Each structure stands twice: as C-alpha cells, then as structure tokens.
Amino acid sequence: MQHHPIPHKIDRIIPWEGRDYRYFSGTAYLGMGSVPAFEKHIIQGIQQYGPNHGASRFSNVQLEVYDALEQQFAREAGAPFGALLSSGFMAGYLSQTLLYALADEVWAAPDAHPAILPAHFQPDPSQSFGEYAQECIERSHHTKGKTIAILSNAVDTILPSVHDFHWVKQLSAENTYYLLIDDSHAFGLLGKGIYGTYGQWKSLPARLIVVGSLGKALAIPAGMILGDAFFIEKVKNSAIFRGASPAAPGYCEAFLNAESLYSRQQSLLQENMEYFFGHLDEDTKAALRYDPRFPVVTFRNSGWAQKLLDKGVMISSFSYPRPEDAPVDRIILSAYHTKEDLDLLAAAVREQ
C-alpha cells in the first residue's frame, strides 16, 4: 500500500488528495495527542524544563523529574525499581543485552519484538505462542542448573493476542529464570491502570523484568525498564545508560500531571471497543481476528486495506518487522474515534 505523507499531526481524519479519510492506524490507542489539556501539560513542561536535556543522567546538575517519574511508575506498577530511557527500543535493547550476558540460555517467543532479541536470534514465526510455552516447559525439564532468559512481548499485535504467562509456574525448579516482557503495547491498556503488566506477573517463579515504550498509548517519547534492585543497578551502571541522553524532560513532567486524563481516555477507548465489536454480525466476526481486551483487529484473509480505503477508511498496512515480510492489514481503534467513525468502519467491514 502506498505511503501518505502529510504536513500536520495525525488525527482521526486524514485529508489526502482532496478527500478525508477516517484514520484507523498508528499506536495512539488513547488518543492523547487530541487532548488539549494534555498538550497544555506538555507546553508547561517544556516551559519549565526546556525543549530537551542532552546531558548524562549522572552529570553534576540533574533534573528531578526523571527520578520522580521512575519512582511513580515503579510504585504504581508494583515493581521495586524503574529506569527511564529515551526510547522503548533502547530500554528493550539494553535489557536484553544485559540479560544475554547473565544467562546460559535464551528462549525467545515467536513474536518477540526486535528490541528484545539478541542480534543473531531469529524466532520461528510459524510457531504459536502456546507451542512456544509448551516447548519452554519441556526444555526446562531437560535442563538443570542453568540461568535461562525468557523473552516475550506482552501482546502479539499482529495476531492479535494478549499473552498469558501462568505457564511459567510449570517450569522446572532446577533452573533460575529471568522473564523479560515487552509492555510497549500494554502500557496504558493492560494490567494495573496505565502501568502495564508487572504487577500481574511479579509472583511467578522468575525474576521479572518489564520494558517498553511510553510513546504509544501514553504519548511520551521515552522508555521504561522495571525490575529488582540487582537488575536496575546493572542498567544504571551500564555505559549505555550513563552515556545516553535521557528523555525530553518536559514530556516527563507532563506525564506526571496527566493521570486523570489517561484514566478518562482509557474509559473512552473501552467504550469504543465495546461499541465497535458490538456492531459486528457473526459473519463479519468470522472474517476477523481480535481480542476484546485489545484495540487491534486483523483479518483472516489479505487485501482489506485497499478495499477499505475505497470506502474512506485508512487502516494500517505495511511489511513488519522485516521489509521482506508480507504486508499486515490491521484496524487500530483509538479513544479519539467518534461513534460516527465507528459506524462508518463497521459498515465498511461488513460490506466486504
């Protein structure tokens, strides 16, 4: 599908070549960019801290907003400690790099994001998450005295599917396990409030590390690592963390002041998901793949993107994660969509 360059921010309507299209793509699940009060918080944060902060977190003059965000995020997520970075990809990359050095073996889920994969790892994309989990259980009972790193997304955004990690309880107790979960598509959507799935899985018999981007549902260009004292100390003592510029501080300040706005947008998104899924007949549902807890819909057959574009609906359609992969057509629902948008979408899908 061809690209659509635009000279303005993305919203629920995209004007292109003389026609307005309803936009059902991207990762702005909570639609925070369309909330004036949130934009005001960002502007106020920039006025307080400036447009950027390019110095190390360990320079002699430090901005207090970073520690404040780490402490709040960890506390609300139910994690011992947090580490804030400038992007979710950096958070994932740094975490898997440190884990790779700690572990004897690395077991990566088939849909694990490239950010949390060691460079030479290539999971089997034909394997289901259930098959992967069963393989991990079986391998664990043929392994003894090893430190094993298990790498997975919280959500398969392509299928889509919300992953369950209770199977970790079935792993052999003869090994030590690290469980690294990428919450990039869970922050703001799943788990506790806007703080992701750490609290949901922290009682599993594994040392839990949750990483992810705050730049999707939460609209903050930053990344977060949640974990225990041992691992977060390794993160903060690493050359990458010490040498990299931190996140833009104004956005971090905005996050700290936007809890009620996030909560409101979560409610709106939930209403929109229930409304849209409730307006699909059984035949239409049979042609789709979705989880009612997650605002992404995919198709059992290809070729939907152009058909929906002809109806005035622009959905996600591109090769991912590698350029040689087949394009994936996906509908992404957001809190900023109106009932009129959802009615148009439902009618366009039903007519195909």
pLDDT one-digit tens code per residue, 327-346: 889 999 999 999 999 999 99
- Match 């944060």 to its residue by tokens: 45
Distance CA 118, CA 116 (A): 7
- Whether 181 shows a pLDDT value over 70: the answer reads yes
Q: How far apart are CA 220 and CA 212, in angstroms?
A: 12
What does the alpha-carbon distance between residue 76 and residue 210 come to, in Å, rounded to a whole number? 13
Domain 53-247 has CATH 3.30.750.24: no
Radius of gyration over alpha carbons of the chain, in Å? 21
Could you tell me which residue, 125 or 154, shows the higher pLDDT? 154
Residue 47: both structure tokens together = 């006025």
Q: Where in the chain is the domain with CATH 3.90.1150.10?
A: 13-35+260-350
CB 207 within 8 A of CB 179: yes
Mean pLDDT of the chain: 95
CATH number attached to the domain at 13-35+260-350: 3.90.1150.10
pLDDT at residue 325 above 80? no
Query: Is the pTM for the entire model greater than 0.85?
Result: yes
Instruction: List, by residue range, all CATH 3.40.640.10 domains of the chain.
Output: 53-247
pLDDT at 2: 65
Quote the pLDDT of residue 5.
Answer: 81
Question: Tens digit of pLDDT for each residue in 231-258?
Answer: 999 999 999 999 999 999 999 999 999 9
pLDDT at 118: 94
| pLDDT for position 127 | 95
Q: Which pLDDT belongs to residue 1?
A: 56
Task: State the SS3 of 237-285.
Answer: HCHHHHHCCCCCHHHHHHHHCCHHHHHHHHHHHHHHHHHHHHCCCHHHH
pLDDT-derived band at 8 (thresholds 50, 70, 90) equals confident
Summarize the confidence of residues 59-83 as an average pLDDT.
Answer: 96
Parallel, antiparallel, or unpaired: how do β-strands 81-85 and 223-227 relate? antiparallel
Taken as a whole, the chain contains a residue count of: 352
Residue written as token pair 């087949």: 326
Measuring CA to CA, which residue among 267, 308, 335 is closest to residue 22?
308
Please check the confidence at residue 88 and state whether its pLDDT lies above 80: yes
Beta-carbon contacts of 116 under 8 Å, excluding residues fewer than 6 positions away, are 92, 93, 95, 96, 108, 151, 153, 180, 182, 211
> pLDDT (tens digit, 9 = 90+) per residue, 9-46?
899 999 988 899 999 999 999 999 999 999 999 999 99
Comparing C-alpha atoms, which of 306, 301, 286, 284 is closest to residue 351? 284
pLDDT at 69: 98
